[in-house]
Structure 1
């Protein structure tokens, strides 16, 4: 049963209200473009830094400016090398919104960490050094953001103070990046000139760049719209756990717990259970605070069904008329994250929503050159940080959508059977 457009709009408005609150951001860019300094500036200017923290980094700083990057470069190796090599999550708030910010690595060696940080992001900030312009890693991270279908992309042209606040330098970088983004089919690109070290145009408009009439970076982050795309996609409810209380008072209770991956579910809706294909209706929805009439992504709820059908962990509830594809053959773009190459016939564990199955690599079709976007069909394998197109065969059927349509059911991770380490991430 498809939800009326008005109901979807209402649910989208509820998400906007519930998440006015939250924007998930991933920062990326080449080494030493100033990501950690920018995050430190956002933390400091939004009053998220305690006085003793600021005093500590002031004592540790050298030169005329306080080194705000010390707020985020927490690993000793990072401080010694002056680069970020891990994904560091930071939180800060303004009166309009709460931000969850993933500071992802700029070095090519840690591209896989950038994939991790951006996989759940609503917006990606790619920093570009105004002195250097577009570099290989700038293109790589923009491509990854587009590949991961991050809805909004912001290009922060940093260190404008080192190019004398030149409008020509900014315009050249903006035009080059916009042309590159057009090839990636990025839906929303915003380019902002900033100086993270001095704070120009990060929170407040800069007096040094009167030729720029757009919003400051933080103002844009506060105003960008997020969340509605989750509602306007069909219902996908992967079952995480079956609840069967043993007490006499609740002997007849059977609920299916999980998070709504996309869409809206309401009491009375007709739903289909995959893989069995059996149909039933939603009898009740239980939330953390009691019964609900409806639930929408990304709420965690327990759904009760009108009929006693067989439902287990890894099964999926979806609309009768809008079901995902049920298949054992997957065509995917894979980002490989380990030293041992991905080759044909390799066996792995594939985790998709709440379902884990064994899989075998049928074919590595090509490796992608992220600079030219050309396909290397002679590669035959994917090495560390490589991205390419792969065909997989699973031992059990999965319930999938194209990643472009649904990020929740269009993605998966690959796990090494022997070590249980995550070795790859894929988009269908």
Structure 2
């Protein structure tokens, strides 16, 4: 038997005091068993409360089912339960001894592409389900393309419903080879494939007794050990300023005010990448002025350094004119300062794009006006064909565009930094988010 591709694994974390976090999504065609897979993961890892199990038992009995319908754990919307499909993103959380998990169950229907994009934007890994009776289908290619577009390059191919093909190894291997060839054409290198039966739990948490020809990991074994999200602390420093905090001390109490002659001025924000280290020199953009980090504070605690995703207050050793939307960056590794962006966007709004209108683009904490100056091509996510110079853009379309900006942004390519390489488009009149994009 040919084993699955060697996954990108890290040493067991069972000896670590702090558990790492893995965010992943499930995707696939309608009825491939995404919700059932998540339900099985939660059930077999004993992550379900007794009252939830009781409710599922009652609902399953009303439907005349002899087994628990574990998909009810994720298909929470009434419309989903009535149709038996997933139409929104359902997030679930569970733990094992090794790791914490956040699961996003993405819709399978083409008309919910925008939901898939939303789910994948924060994911470290994607589990793509395939019905063993159907093999690689259009939705498989579509979801793989979208995951790859959004930088999710750790893929698990789960060939589900193996019980319905008599647990046949040759069927699994044919599907495996077909998918690996397609993934390779997109440049995806990390793929783990495994045969499963979500309904009965084969190779989910417990090894299958019906497929003794498979000697690879179970799904939970793989999820426990695969590398989590890329370490953004190794990327160049990017600290978008969300708020300027001015405080003074009165009788030992910090009191906020707007007086410029205060004793303390700090810059609040969430570190996007790199490491904030006391005494390191940084540049403030757009001014380009340099200063040293005097202190880094988390709540009332002073830190010698801060890692990505921490929301902190940074104090500099000298006063610089900095406001919301500015960015502190590494002095010797600057982002691009641009007034024009080339990006792939997913149109989220039911209202089509109007290229004669100006919109708002929100990038990190900075919001500026923009104009769609060029629509280069629209991607048919079913066939991956590119349609040049589309005349209109409607909901769920994936389009390569050129944007002109009224003021500069400080950006990186999405492949290098998922935070400073992404943005959303906002309708200035309604304040609705109408598109999401990645900088290419």
> TM class by shorter-chain length?
over 0.9
In 2, the alpha carbon distance for the partners of 1:91 and 1:215 equals 22
Say yes or no: does 1:120 pair with 2:122: yes
Post-superposition offset of 1:160: 0.9
In 1, the alpha carbon distance for the partners of 2:128 and 2:332 equals 40
Post-superposition offset of 1:118: 1.0
Post-superposition offset of 1:391: 0.4
Instruction: Tell me what 1:352 maps to.
Output: 363
Match of residue 380, structure 2, among 358, 369, 374: 369
Q: How does 1:152-167 map to 2 (within 5 A)?
A: 152-167=154-169
Instruction: Tell me what 2:48 maps to.
Output: 49
Match of residue 181, structure 2, among 179, 195, 218: 179
In 2, the alpha carbon distance for the partners of 1:356 and 1:18 equals 40
Instruction: Tell me what 1:400 maps to.
Output: 411
Match of residue 95, structure 2, among 93, 98, 118: 93
- Secondary structure at 1:298 match in 2: coil
* Cα RMSD (Å): 1.7
Against the structure 1 CA distance between its residues 240 and 18, is the aligned structure 2 distance closer, same or farther, given a 3 Å change threshold?
farther
- Secondary structure at 1:426 match in 2: strand
Post-superposition offset of 1:246: 4.2
Match of residue 238, structure 2, among 231, 236, 239: 236
Partner deviation per Cα, 1:373-397 (whole Å, 9 max, x = no partner): 3211042332221111000011111
Instruction: Tell me what 2:399 maps to.
Output: 388
Instruction: Tell me what 2:138 maps to.
Output: 136
Post-superposition offset of 1:32: 1.1
Unmatched tracts of structure 2, length 5 or more? 1-12, 255-261
In 2, the alpha carbon distance for the partners of 1:252 and 1:170 equals 68
Against the structure 1 CA distance between its residues 374 and 103, is the aligned structure 2 distance closer, same or farther, given a 3 Å change threshold?
same
Instruction: Tell me what 2:172 maps to.
Output: 170
Instruction: Tell me what 1:419 maps to.
Output: 430
Equivalent residue pairs, number: 414
Say yes or no: does 1:31 pair with 2:33: no
Partner deviation per Cα, 1:242-274 (whole Å, 9 max, x = no partner): 111244355411111111111112111110111
In 1, the alpha carbon distance for the partners of 2:407 and 2:296 equals 29
Partner deviation per Cα, 1:220-258 (whole Å, 9 max, x = no partner): 111011244312211111111111124435541111111
In 2, the alpha carbon distance for the partners of 1:377 and 1:294 equals 48
Instruction: Tell me what 2:310 maps to.
Output: 299
> Does the CA-based 8 Å contact 2:248-2:263 persist in structure 1?
no
- Secondary structure at 1:258 match in 2: strand
TM-score after normalising by structure 2: 0.91
Say yes or no: does 1:67 pair with 2:69: yes
In 1, the alpha carbon distance for the partners of 2:22 and 2:300 equals 24
Against the structure 1 CA distance between its residues 386 and 296, is the aligned structure 2 distance closer, same or farther, given a 3 Å change threshold?
same
> Does the CA-based 8 Å contact 1:344-1:364 persist in structure 2?
no
Partner deviation per Cα, 1:81-115 (whole Å, 9 max, x = no partner): 00111111111111111111111111111110111
Bigger proportion of residues as helix: 1
Instruction: Tell me what 1:337 maps to.
Output: 348
- Secondary structure at 1:254 match in 2: strand
Unmatched tracts of structure 1, length 5 or more? 1-13
In 2, the alpha carbon distance for the partners of 1:19 and 1:424 equals 36
Against the structure 1 CA distance between its residues 97 and 289, is the aligned structure 2 distance closer, same or farther, given a 3 Å change threshold?
farther
- Secondary structure at 1:245 match in 2: strand
In 2, the alpha carbon distance for the partners of 1:147 and 1:17 equals 33
In 2, the alpha carbon distance for the partners of 1:186 and 1:288 equals 41
Instruction: Tell me what 2:421 maps to.
Output: 410
- Secondary structure at 1:244 match in 2: strand
Post-superposition offset of 1:324: 0.3
Match of residue 276, structure 1, among 287, 302, 311: 287
Post-superposition offset of 1:18: 8.3
Q: How does 1:4-19 map to 2 (within 5 A)?
A: none
- Secondary structure at 1:338 match in 2: coil
The more displaced of 343-352 and 260-269 is 343-352
Instruction: Tell me what 2:259 maps to.
Output: none
- Secondary structure at 2:231 match in 1: helix
Partner deviation per Cα, 1:309-357 (whole Å, 9 max, x = no partner): 1111111111111010001100000111122222533321111101111
